[in-house]
Structure 1
Amino acid sequence: MNAIESFFILLGGLWAGTINTVVGSGTLVTFPILIALGITPVMAVVSNAMGLIAGGVSGVWGYRSELTGMKHNLVRLMPASLLGGITGAYLLLHLPEKVFLYVAPVLIVLALLLVIFQPRLQRSIKARRESAPSARSHEALMFVLIFLTGVYGGYFVAAQGVLLVAILGIFMSGTLQNANAVKNVLTLTVNCVAAVSYLIFAPDKIIWIVVGLIAVSSLVGGFIGAKIGRRLSPLVLRSVIVTLGLVALYFMVIKLINA
């Protein structure tokens, strides 16, 4: 890997660490970069997920004040994310890679739609909580949805944070900032359990130089996101994510056509 390629990965990791803490969907920054550099989709997902753990740690630390009073929610929801992450990682490692070639473009489109419509989701969440406060008590449904999001995150990673904020905002008591803080913990849980699975069952899929570059830059990005991320224009963030996501979609379609 040459200096220019390393620079782009570092830049992507920095940006991904920042927006993962604030918005989610950082993988839609790093994934297209790795694909554009010629890394296979499964290796890109594995290496990216492992590298972004560092950014998840700094993001959780930066939002630690918003986790005050959220211990009960974390204790009951982390097992769902844990089981979901294990399931998603298993699917990624055991399904034929060609399945991922077909599924990944669909997941990218889904992730992009979630990013584009995030403001509408947030408004819907607020209206739902005001009109139907009892919805927050539906713990069984919330557990199932968190588990399914963990499966999605363990398999593809991208935009699980957006899904989690939507789910937590509807069903969990507290502010959306509290939901975002819990989201950071749950996504870190999924990434960690997926990383352990990769280390044990698929070490040949890990590109360590990529992991290291993303880890270092996303660690810094997580701190930046926690400090100043909420001052950034959501429109700018979404525009960059969607643009890079479309780049990823283009490269995935090209790979599928040539497969």
Structure 2
Amino acid sequence: MTGLEHLALLGAGLGAGLLTSTVGVASLLSFPVLIALGIPPVVANASNTLGLIPGSLSGSFGYRRELREQPRIMWFVVATCAIGSVGGAALLLALPAEVFAVAVPWLILFTCLIVGVQPWISRWLQSRHDESHTLRPRTSMSPATTVFATLTGVYGGYFGAGAGVMMMAVLGLGLDLELRVINALKTIGLLAANLVAGVIFIFVAELNLTAVGLLAAGSVVGGYLGSHIGRRLPATLLRILVVLAGVIAAILMF
């Protein structure tokens, strides 16, 4: 790789770290950069997963105040994402590379759809809550929320782009918590999924170690900075940014 390509990867890691702790679409930035540099899709995805672990770690540290507010839910999210990511990593390694290349743009667009319709679903759930005064604020994970959180972990282990958005959608629909807390739970969930999948990839997948190192160096800074931005980011702006980033990335991938 040339010096400019090294800088591009370092910048991609920084930006991806910021996105990890804010809008949850880190791989929508870093993965296309790896592909543009000529790295094969499956190798790029495994390297990307490993390289973004420091960003999720520093972002989770930055959100430590929010995580202390919901320790029980935090451990549920960590466990479900970790378990699910094992299945996702296995799918990535078992399925032909062509399947992954074809599926990626559609997975990104599906994520954007979830983010786009979430306000209407949330309003519908809120109206049901208002009609029944016997319903209490939901501060624990229901079986349905747990199942969908696990499936999100599977998706995160298979392809990380948009996994954070999916987790925010799942937790936002299943729990009555502030956005800043949902963001914190999403970030540590991504950390669990990436960490488990990354360990698997170290032993059984082909990696581009230069890309891993440069992404890690950038993401560890971006993840911490993003946590301070994420707790102040308005929900509407967050949703608009996620959808725009997803549509653009999907078009480029097509």
For the aligned pair, the TM-score class normalised by the smaller chain equals 0.7 to 0.9
- Name the counterpart of 2:104: 104
- The amino acid that maps onto 2:202 is L
- 1:222 equivalenced with 2:226 (yes/no): no
Report SS of the residue matched to 1:68.
Answer: helix
- Name the counterpart of 2:36: 36
Q: Distance in 2 between matches of 1:6 and 1:73?
A: 39
| Greater Cα offset, 98-107 or 211-220 | 98-107
- The amino acid that maps onto 1:14 is L
Q: Is the 8 A contact 1:81 1:190 kept in 2?
A: yes
Q: Distance in 2 between matches of 1:6 and 1:179?
A: 34
- Name the counterpart of 1:5: 5
Any residues of structure 2 matched to 1:110-259 within 5 Å, and which? 110-116=110-116, 133=135, 136=138, 139-202=142-205, 204=206, 206-230=207-231, 245=246, 248-250=249-251, 252-253=253-254
Distance 1:129 1:165, change over 3 A: farther
- The amino acid that maps onto 1:103 is A
How many residue pairs match? The answer is: 251
Q: Is the 8 A contact 1:128 1:170 kept in 2?
A: no
Q: Distance in 2 between matches of 1:124 and 1:17?
A: 33
What is the CA-CA distance between 1:59 and the residue it aligns to? 0.5
Q: Distance in 2 between matches of 1:240 and 1:179?
A: 17
- The amino acid that maps onto 2:11 is L
Gaps of 5+ in 1: 254-259
- The amino acid that maps onto 2:168 is V
Q: Distance in 2 between matches of 1:179 and 1:12?
A: 25
Report SS of the residue matched to 2:52.
Answer: helix
Distance 1:37 1:171, change over 3 A: same
- The amino acid that maps onto 1:181 is A
| Greater Cα offset, 109-118 or 178-187 | 109-118
Any residues of structure 2 matched to 1:14-53 within 5 Å, and which? 14-53=14-53
What is the CA-CA distance between 1:10 and the residue it aligns to? 1.4
Q: Is the 8 A contact 1:27 1:158 kept in 2?
A: yes
Distance 1:141 1:115, change over 3 A: closer
C-alpha RMSD over aligned residues: 2.7
Any residues of structure 2 matched to 1:72-91 within 5 Å, and which? 72-91=72-91
Gaps of 5+ in 2: none
What is the CA-CA distance between 1:171 and the residue it aligns to? 2.2
Report SS of the residue matched to 2:39.
Answer: coil
For residues 211-238 of structure 1, what are the alpha-carbon distances to aligned partners after superposition, in whole Å with 9 as ceiling and x for unaligned? 1111111111011111234556777776
Distance 1:56 1:126, change over 3 A: farther
Tell me the TM-score normalised to structure 1 length. 0.85
Q: Distance in 2 between matches of 1:43 and 1:216?
A: 19
Q: Distance in 2 between matches of 1:240 and 1:174?
A: 21
What is the CA-CA distance between 1:116 and the residue it aligns to? 5.0
Q: Distance in 1 between matches of 2:178 and 2:14?
A: 27
Percent identity between matched residues is 40
Distance 1:98 1:5, change over 3 A: same
| Greater Cα offset, 139-148 or 168-177 | 168-177
Q: Distance in 2 between matches of 1:155 and 1:195?
A: 11
What is the CA-CA distance between 1:75 and the residue it aligns to? 2.7
- The amino acid that maps onto 1:17 is G
Q: Distance in 1 between matches of 2:128 and 2:165?
A: 17
- The amino acid that maps onto 1:159 is G
